Structure 1
């Protein structure tokens, strides 16, 4: 695994999955590798009341009802659509579900404007077709077709970025549970095996790009993943990802709890400002999600390690926050400048601590970018 830049969940947590499978005596739907209870436990982590002989780490942070509804949906004949703002953990939850259920989370189609029906169904190896003609051997199955043939979970990322042709192709797959291959006679239909299902993700900010038809919506159960705003949950998510970052880069660098509080409070302030804004021009373009927080902290940690004094400071954190969130010029810079003068400056006078240095670092970063 050390040779991989990013290992899939079934590889990264293979030892946990093997152990859970060995002790799982609950009934399993179809060809599932784990029972629904064990799938939930793998994703949300174990508690003393579970009575296990070992601890299972928590990998996704959010309301357990979202995970339970997702698992129940995948045990039915309907697809699962995870929808929410960017950075809310939709793709990570989809990957964990596929890893726990099928031990394969890599059967993925990325939805883009260039995604075609072939990416959902199949294509052909042209050289083999020329040499031997069209056959199953010369056919290139899509990840979704492979999932159908193996009774596994197929994933589609950013479904609303796909065109209507792609979405229409998915309707028949979710309804009929087979793919017709008219070029082949004796093997002209590929049927889905029990256990096959589809997890799709959609960015709620992409509404209007390629809206889902009512026919396709009927074939999905929707699970809306909100932005995490609970302070405790946010802190757990950021700590979890930060520990992974430090381990991956083999960094011996401490994140002071006071600086983590500054980061969490800054995002809370900016979210409150966005909620009170009268127009989109008065809001940051950023979704201000937990993923954005992790990105800011990651930038600050790496900058401190490579170019600083190998110690995270409030100045570096403020510089990373401005650099990461200022995506539009001059709108975002103006919003951040207003935040620093209207919120951070009074707080630095009243509370002291890390806030004065954070204020100074933010001002310097804005001056550099202006």
Structure 2
């Protein structure tokens, strides 16, 4: 892991997965490495009532029913589509599911306007084709085809950013569970092995980019992942990711609970303001997701470590918040300035604490960017 900037879940949590597999005596669908019960436990963490000899850490924070429905879907013959706003943990949940079920979360296709049918099916090694002709050896399987051949999970990120040709190719794979290779005279069909399934993600803000056809929708079970607004859950997520960040950078830096409260309250205030806005011009371009909160905190921690006094301050946190959320000028700066004057300034006078310093840091950051 020390040689990887970011280890996939099956490597990062290999020891946990090995242990769970060794004690798992429940029935497993197809070629799954863990039973559905253990997949859920791996993702959501263990409780005392589970009766395990060791604790399993919680890795995804959200309604347990989302995980359960996802697991049930992958045990059926339908694909799983995780849909929601940016930063709601869709890709992380897809990675954890793949790691627990088949110990390989890296069979991923990134959906873009440039994604082609070849990325979903297969392509050819041109030099080998010229030298030896078209054969199975000269064929380059896509991550989806590799998942089919191994009975694993193939992942497609941002499905709605892919064109209709790519989506049509996926319909055939999900329906027939095989891929034809017409260029070959024999051995020209790749059949999916039991256990194969597809997890796709879609950004709900991309609606209208490349809408899914009704035929493709029928082949997926939808699980909608909402933005986390529960304060307790947000605190757990932010703490979990912050601890990971500190370990990865080998930092010894304290994150005061009061500053964490300031960050969470700021995002709650800005979300309420966005919900009450009458037009898009009155809303920040940011989705104000939990992932963006983590990004703000990460920026503030690293800045404090490299250029500060190795202690997180409200001023640095405010500067990071403004710098991360001000994406449009002058619209976003005006919205943040209104928030500081209309909400933070009265609160700093009433409550004191870290708010006055947060207000001052925010004003300085806006002045710098204006």
TM-score normalised by L of structure 1: 1.00
Alignment-derived partner of residue 82 in structure 1: 82
Query: Using the alignment, how far apart are the partners of 1:316 and 1:171 within structure 2?
Result: 49
* Superimposed CA distance per residue, residues 118-171 of structure 1 (whole angstroms, 9 cap, x where no aligned partner): 000000000000000000000000000000000000000000000110000000
Q: Distance in 1 between matches of 2:242 and 2:114?
A: 34
Superposed displacement of residue 185, structure 1: 1.6
Q: Residue 201 of structure 1 corresponds to which residue in structure 2? A: 201
Segments of 4+ in structure 1 off by > 6 A?
A: none
Partner SS for 1:109: strand
Post-superposition offset of 1:286: 0.5
Q: Please give the alpha-carbon distance, in whole angstroms, between the structure 2 residues aligned to 1:126 and 1:80.
A: 34
TM-aligned CA deviation for residue 340 of structure 1: 0.3
CA distance in structure 1 between the partners assigned to 2:360 and 2:73 by the alignment:
50
Question: Take 1:185 and 1:174, find their aligned partners in 2: how far apart are those partners?
Answer: 24
Q: Once the two structures are superposed, what CA deviation does each residue of 1:150-205 show, in whole Å capped at 9, x if it has no partner?
A: 00000000000001100000000000000000011211110000000000000000
- 1:280 and 2:280 equivalent? yes
Looking at structure 2, the residues matched to 362 and 281 of structure 1 have their Cα atoms a distance apart, in angstroms, of 21
How many angstroms apart in 1 are the aligned matches of 2:185 and 2:72?
A: 37
Instruction: Check if 1:111 corresponds to 2:111.
Output: yes
Deviation at 1:367, TM superposition (A): 0.4
Cα offset for 1:5? 0.2
**What secondary structure, in the 3-state scheme, does the structure 1 residue paired with 2:82 have?**
strand
C-alpha distance in structure 2 between counterparts of 1:318 and 1:369, whole Å: 13
Task: Write out per-residue CA displacement over residues 229-258 of structure 1, whole angstroms, 9 at most, x where no aligned residue.
Answer: 000000000000000000000000000000
Q: 3-state SS of the aligned residue for 1:81?
A: strand
CA distance in 2, matches of 1:46, 1:67: 14
Structure 2 runs not aligned, ≥5 long = none
CA distance in 1, matches of 2:314, 2:150: 51
CA distance in 2, matches of 1:328, 1:43: 37
Where 1:190 maps in the other structure, the secondary structure is strand
Distance 1:60 1:187 in 2: 42
Give the Cα separation in 1 of the matches to 2:132 and 2:72. 45
Shift of 1:316: 0.2
Query: Number of paired residues?
Result: 370
